[in-house]
Amino acid sequence: MEMWIKEAQIEDAAMTYKVKETLVTKKTKYQDLAILDTYFFGRMLVLDGIIQTTIKDEFVYHEMIAHIPLFTHPNPKKVLVVGGGDGGVIREVLKHPSVEKAVLCEIDGDVVEECKKYLPEISCALENPKCEVFIGDGIKYVNEHKNEFDVIIVDSTDPFGAAEGLFGGSFYEKIKECLTEDGIFIAQTETPFYLPEVVKKVFNDSKAIFKITKLFMAAIPTYPGGYWSFTIGSKKYDPENVDLSIYEDLDTKYYTKKIHKAAFVLPKYVEDLIK
């Protein structure tokens, strides 16, 4: 008997993947969690029926959300990742030699533990001595740490349920206070094709708070629409004007210095969306 997982981003469209084996399913305190082994994309983390990451294409998302802000900031020493319990962003953050401490603040401890078991390629840096894992509410954590982090990365699930509070102006105001005087914030901000209203709202919220706000894109096969947006807010540094020639190349599969610049060149329909 064939088994398939279907993810519906909107009511009228869905993506399906053939499943080889179900590795774990459980109801955590916050959400339904599953880790599946699929034929084409390998093992994948699924939360509340929505695919979060897969072994085959995770590198695109994790590299782009981490390296663009970290190469934009001239000396990032302390980094906060809100969400991201799979550990992929932490793995990429710790490739930067200037980083002295990376804090992962994940509300659902079950996500961290199951990813350590079943997605070790992604979660491998969570045991690094530079990494501190804090299981708790990211909003509360940000509120309690002022002027502390050079870069804050919001690696949240979609803006529904447990992650809804991580999208919006009031949270971004607190993030600004949590950042140092030249700090940088970045968040995944959904698909402009299926959820244009979310992309527009987050961009405008960030623009109202940060001196510099830019949107960039990356191609991620398992994310709805295949084309994903990220919004970066900076107190001082423009991610498009950074001199990347001073940095050594990292071990990456998607991110390059050319991609860093090119990602900010937007299709007209996305440009029009955020005008």
Active site residues: 155
Q: Is 16 annotated as a binding residue?
A: no
Contact 269, 192 (CB under 8 A): yes
Q: Is 92 annotated as a binding residue?
A: no
Q: Is 190 annotated as a binding residue?
A: no
Q: Is 158 annotated as a binding residue?
A: yes
167 Rama sector, left if φ>0, alpha if ψ -120 to 50, beta otherwise: beta
Q: Is 86 annotated as a binding residue?
A: yes
Q: Is 155 annotated as a binding residue?
A: yes
**What is the residue type of 97?**
P
Q: Is 138 annotated as a binding residue?
A: yes
Q: Which residues pair with 159 in a beta bridge?
A: none
Instruction: Tell me which long-range contacts 32-39 makes (C-beta under 8 A, separation of at least 24).
Output: 33/108, 33/110, 33/111, 33/114, 35/114, 35/115, 35/118, 35/119, 36/5, 38/5
DSSP symbols for 188-230: E---TTT-HHHHHHHHHHHHHH-SEEEEEEEE-TTSTTSEEEE
How far apart are alpha carbons 181 and 184 in whole angstroms?
Answer: 9
Residues sharing a CB contact under 8 Å with residue 246, sequence separation 6 or more, in sequence order? none
Handedness of CA 203, 11, 158, 228 (dihedral sign): negative
How far apart are alpha carbons 270 and 191 in whole angstroms?
Answer: 10
Contact 57, 41 (CB under 8 A): yes
**What does the block give as tokens for 69?**
């802000």
Contact 99, 140 (CB under 8 A): no
Question: Tokens 């894992």 label which residue?
Answer: 133
**What does the block give as tokens for 141?**
């954590």
Binding residues for spermidine, by number, are: 62, 86, 155-158
Q: Which residues are annotated as a binding site?
A: 31, 62, 86, 106, 137-138, 155-158
Residues annotated within the binding site for S-methyl-5'-thioadenosine are 31, 106, 137-138
